[in-house]
Structure 1
């Protein structure tokens, strides 16, 4: 599963990083980014992060 964070939309709140730290991290611009493909066992955490993003900046594809 590949995760993409729209850098123009991200407000850098860090919620996704807290929910799925194995998939998301904060970059040098204090915006979230997906830094590795997610393993299947992280799928529910990633889905929760996608739904919880207040600005809908996260997309994922299998």
Structure 2
């Protein structure tokens, strides 16, 4: 299972440096998580001010 970033993302970038495997990047309008690399650690969810990352 992987995390996904929902539409509530405000593109603040807080999640990107927290990912231990580097699978979060800036998308067209919101940040995105590469599901095949996500290790389901939840580090991104812990720092997001709007709770955008959620388990898939």
CA drift at 1:48: 2.3
The alignment of Structure 1 onto Structure 2 pairs a total of residues equal to 54
Residue 53 of structure 2 corresponds to which residue in structure 1?
58
TM-score, structure 1 length as denominator?
A: 0.69
Residues in 2 aligned to 1:50 and 1:25: alpha-carbon distance in whole angstroms: 14
Gaps of 5+ in 1: none
- Which is greater in Rg? 1
Q: Quote the RMSD (CA, aligned, Å).
A: 1.9
Residues in 2 aligned to 1:17 and 1:3: alpha-carbon distance in whole angstroms: 13
Higher helix share: 1
